[in-house]
Each structure stands twice: as structure tokens, then as C-alpha cells.
Structure 1
Amino acid sequence: MRKIPALLISAGLLAVSLTACAPSTGPGCESAVPSGESSTIVKVSGDEGAKPTVDFPTPLKVSSTERTVVREGEGPGTVEGQQISIDWSVYNGTSGELIEQSAYDGSQALSFALVDGKLMPGVQQGLLCATEGSRVTLVVPPEDAFGEAGNPQLGVAPEDSLVFVIDVNRSYLPRANGTPKAAAEGMPAVVLDANGVPGITIPSAAAPTDLQVAVLKQGDGETIEEGDQVVVHYTGVLWDTKKVFDSSWSRGAPAVFAAAPGSETVQNGVITGFADALIGQQVGSQIIAVIPPELGYGEQGNGAVPPNSTLVFVVDILGIS
């Protein structure tokens, strides 16, 4: 699985207002992007999980982004900040030429979070409220894509629209959805805000000297094994100063880590205590871990983490990628 191509998606970061309403593609979720004549005229055929056959008249122009659901998926629609995995085929709407296409075999699936301001506006808005297993077509005008500059490297002129055919293969949990558990004695207290972001209160007692892990919400999804790539939200707090030193929630997007200690042979690994806390947990769970220095950043520290720091993490386990 690869990250989203910067040239194609991290476009002009335009401030685009897409406020038209359309039927939801998932329960309780209403898309801001309507279906229209241009997105409907894009004809798509082919088996699920295979490269689609795509046909549309050229030049295909729109004044605002349009979306048509070709195949309905299941479950709730995607929301802002949620991690998804997709396959796609992208065309120049003026010439009809293919710009980029996934392999549709799992080797080139794109994984990213739906974060406003980091994705091409037409794609960001067009994928909100899409359901897992759905196939959607998007026709995106220049102002919702690369703007007045176009993208010469991709052969996209300033006046060219883009046509996307997107399969939403996976939509990871937006937050832990497990059954709440009683608080463990002696552990930091955790209170969640309306968006599920934790606030952490550290006890006045001395920090424990060994790894402490407690389940705050018990999920019932897949069990994490060592080396799995896991999608998580997390907040890290220093026991001594009670200050937050890192948080994926503050960045608005989950993180993807290997559930294994980082090393020369393990890329995208984490500190040993974080890996140990994750292994054996189930997707949908929320856990709290108190990590002693020797299982964290030790005598060296790391950036905002002073040497010999005890760390506290609250983690939402959102999926295995």
C-alpha cells in the first residue's frame, strides 16, 4: 500500500466551498457534492476488484465538482479525518487520456486520511460520505483541482477538468468503538471530548517502573500481531510535567505504524513499550499505556521528550492496513 501521490492530490489547496446537497451514500451522512449530467455520463464497467473500463465524451467540462455513485458500498459514510484505502483511475477530462491508474491487485492501493486542506478540494469533498466497497465517479473542474496553473508535468492544462473513478476498498474506524471498561486503579484518568479526543490526568504518585497497559474500550476486531501495520490515533503525555508532547488528533489524521520496535530492519517501527502495548490488542479498542524510560526514549530522550521520561499514551486502534 502506498501513500497518495503528492503531485496529483496535494494540489493548490484552494479554499473551495462545496455546499450543494445530494443523497447520502451512507447512513447518517449527506454528501456536499451533487450528482450531475457530467458525472452521470461517465460510463464505468468491470468486475469489483479489477481495473474498470471507463468511457466518456470529450471534452467533459463542469462548473463545480460532481459525483455519481456507480456501486453502493456498505456501512457508514466516511467522515473528515478518516483513513481510507482506495484504487483509482484518473483521466484528463479534455483529452480523455489516462493520467494514472492503480494496479487493482493490492500492490498500489492508496492510503490516506480525508483531511481538509491537504487533499485536492474536489477529491476531499467527493469522497466524504462514501461507503466501504463503493465505486464513485468524480468530475472535477480546474478550480477544485490544480487551479489556474494546471499541472504541465501531468499534461493537465489550466482549463482541463479531471475525471476520477475511485473504488473505496477500506474505510478504517474514525474512532475506537469498543465497549467501555472500568478504569484501572492507579492509572491516569482519561476523559473524552465530543469528538473522542482524550484528556489525560496524571496521578500525583510516582511513575511506575514497569510497563502498565489497561484497556479503556474493548474492541472486537482483528487482533494485532507483531509487525502488523496499524492505523491509530494517539496522544502522548509526559508523566513528570503532565504536558502533551505528541498527538495525532491535533494533526487531524491517524498515524500508521508497524507494531514492532523500530530498528535498521523494521521500517516505520515504534518505541518498544508502544509496540508491546499494541500487540495482542483488538481493533476497535482504546488503550492506555504507561511506558518507563527504558522502553521509551531512554537516557537520550527525543525532541520534546526529555531524557529518562516516563510516557503515557492513550491510543485508539482503528485498523490493520
Structure 2
Amino acid sequence: MRKSVALIVAAGLLATLAGCSSSGSSASGCTPQLSAGDASNTIAAAGAFGTAPTVTVNTPLHTADSQSTTLITGTGPRVETGDYLLGEYTFVDGATGAVVQKSAYNGSDSAGFVVGKLDTLPGLDSAVVCATQGSRLAVAMAPIQSTTSATPSTDSIVAVFDITTVFPSRADGAVQPAQAGFPSVALGPDGRPGITIPSGSLPTSQQVAVLKKGSGQTVAEGDHVVFKYTAVVWADKSVAKTTWDDGVPAAATASSSAPLATNIVPALVGQTVGSQYIAVVPPSAGYGDTASTTPVIPANSTLVYVVDVLGILPAAAAQ
């Protein structure tokens, strides 16, 4: 869906300052991985949240330990490991004060990454944990946690990062009573669904049941929805496709009429954010007599989908 910061950095280029408030205080139930320090507290970023800031650094800035200061505190959801994050960023060479890379700041080309898996920039990855959506962070990264091909390996990198959207790692709705006749679903510690296909005859019509009922926004026709899913072939119980391997959610425009191959998953319209549901899809409502190689689905397959509805992208970000 969105380029990840890790990929952008690997490619080679890597609010008015609201005071120096520390990000080191522990939010309820969450322990930050970085604290504010002498280096991060000297970083200034002039400009409104979500717009390209003018970053001021007392050069040369060098820190042996990565630090993070919250310049703007957001009021949205808290970032936790495993969440998928969208944001805007400006990277500055701590030695020279020069901007080495920044995102588009256009509302539609935000950088995205799974928190806990941003191996290219572990300093930034650590900084966002326990921050909140709507926050702007000033991060001073130690050289070992900030190296890009655009800067020497001995330089610290300064990142000013605006957390624009946080998608949870799994559906968090209320568990619903099981419905007879559906495959059973058991969740792993991280929320990954395990699907057990029952014995008996194949369903001949599409069936949908809610496993967890979320309290968020109802998905409407045309909404750009962010979700995780696993699809299993009923006949041989093989996993045709899952987003749980790398943790990166999928995104698609919700449609009740588009072919399943275009729509990625069935039955998004009418679900609520935070819900998990199961859909049993016979060939007549799925891929029919056409085999698919991506995902791997034999012709005339009945499919089972377990879908976690994580959020709806704003209109600008869905472009």
C-alpha cells in the first residue's frame, strides 16, 4: 500500500516548536523505548503538523545513544509494537545540518512501516513506541542506528517524524458467539488466525459470520479499507494468501459488486472497524473455474477468509 521508510532509506537518500517535552514518561500500560536527552532536546522543527518542517540542529550533533523528544503531543491512538504506522518525515545529517531526505508531505504518499520491523532505522523504530497518533517526534539517532548511503557511517541522523495514522496489529472488537457450520478459528498470541475446516459437504452459497464486533466506523461502498486476512482453500486446507507473515496489512476499496480477484477479500462493506469476520466463498462467488497463481488458488475452489478490519484511510491518503 505505501512505501516503507526502510525501503526508501535503503534506496540511498535516506508545528512550531512546542518546547522540549520529554517522551520518556511512561503512558499507561506502555513503556517507551527511548527517552529525551541533551541531543534530542536541541532539535527544533518549525511548521504545522503534517507539513514539511524547517529543522534546526546545533551542529555537529552526535549522540552515542538514540534519544527522542516529543515536540507535538497527539491525542490519537497509542503506537504499540506490531502496529502499522503512516507518517511524514524529514531526515537531517547531524554533522552538517543538511536535509538528506524527506517525504512528500502531500497527504497521499506517507511512509509506512510495521513497528518493531524497521531494521534500517532501529532508532526511529524505537522512538515511535508509546507515542500517539498526531504526535511530532524529534529523534537523534546514534550512528549505528541511522546509517544510510547518503551519510557517513560515523554521523548521527536527526529525524523529525509526524505520526499521521496508526493501524492496530489486530482486530480488537468484542468476541461474538460461534455460529454452527463455519470453520473454527483459533488465534495465536499475535492475533494470527488458525483455521480448521469442518467435515461435511461444501457450502454452495457465500456465508459470513462476525467473530469479533468492532465499535468503529462502518465500512461503506467506496471506502479505502486497511485490513489483515488469511485465505484458505477448503479442499486441501492450504493457505492461499496471508498478510500475517510480514505484518503489513492490505488495503482495498470496499465494493459489494467488484469481482473477488479485484476486491482482494469479500464482504468488507457493512463491517465495522475493529471487527474480525469469517467468509466462506464458493466458486460461484469467488474465482469460479479460473485458477489463480497469486494467490495460489486452484480452479473451482471454495475459499475461507478470516479478515481483521483495522481502519479506513482518509480520502487524501487513499489516492
1:13-162 → structure 2 map (5 Å cutoff): 23-24=24-25, 26-74=27-75, 77-116=78-117, 118-146=119-147, 150-151=148-149, 154=150, 156-162=151-157
Structure 1: state its 5+ residue gaps.
13-21, 264-268
Aligned 8 A contact 2:280 2:302 in 1: yes
Residues 106 and 163 of structure 1: CA distance in aligned 2, closer, same or farther (over 3 Å):
same
Q: How far apart, CA to CA, are the structure 2 residues paired with 1:143 and 1:11?
A: 18
Residues 199 and 5 of structure 1: CA distance in aligned 2, closer, same or farther (over 3 Å):
closer
Deviation per CA, 1:48-87: give whole Å up to 9, x if none. 3433332111111111211111222235532222111111
Match of 2:4 in 1: 4
Aligned 8 A contact 2:256 2:269 in 1: no
Which residue among 290, 302, 310 is the counterpart of 2:292? 302
Match of 2:304 in 1: 312
TM-score (norm 1): 0.84
Partner secondary structure for residue 294 of structure 1: helix
Which residue among 241, 246, 253 is the counterpart of 1:258? 253
Aligned 8 A contact 2:173 2:214 in 1: yes
Which residue among 256, 275, 292 is the counterpart of 2:282? 292
Match of 1:277 in 2: 267
Residues 26 and 66 of structure 1: CA distance in aligned 2, closer, same or farther (over 3 Å):
same
Structure 2: state its 5+ residue gaps.
13-22, 314-319
Partner secondary structure for residue 244 of structure 2: helix
Aligned 8 A contact 1:81 1:253 in 2: no
Which residue among 183, 196, 219 is the counterpart of 2:178? 183
Residues 122 and 226 of structure 1: CA distance in aligned 2, closer, same or farther (over 3 Å):
same
Deviation per CA, 1:99-147: give whole Å up to 9, x if none. 233444413322332242554222212222221111111111221122x
Aligned 8 A contact 1:217 1:285 in 2: yes
Residues 119 and 29 of structure 1: CA distance in aligned 2, closer, same or farther (over 3 Å):
farther
Aligned 8 A contact 2:173 2:215 in 1: yes
Partner secondary structure for residue 62 of structure 2: coil
Aligned 8 A contact 2:225 2:252 in 1: yes
Whichever residue aligns with residue 187 of structure 1, its letter is F
Aligned 8 A contact 1:211 1:273 in 2: no
Whichever residue aligns with residue 3 of structure 1, its letter is K
- What is the CA-CA distance between 1:165 and the residue it aligns to? 0.7
Match of 1:206 in 2: 201
Residues 273 and 188 of structure 1: CA distance in aligned 2, closer, same or farther (over 3 Å):
farther
Partner secondary structure for residue 86 of structure 1: strand
Residues 10 and 227 of structure 1: CA distance in aligned 2, closer, same or farther (over 3 Å):
farther
TM-score (norm 2): 0.84
Q: How far apart, CA to CA, are the structure 2 residues paired with 1:11 and 1:65?
A: 23
Q: How far apart, CA to CA, are the structure 2 residues paired with 1:283 and 1:289?
A: 16
Whichever residue aligns with residue 65 of structure 2, its letter is S
Q: How far apart, CA to CA, are the structure 2 residues paired with 1:201 and 1:315?
A: 15
Partner secondary structure for residue 3 of structure 1: coil
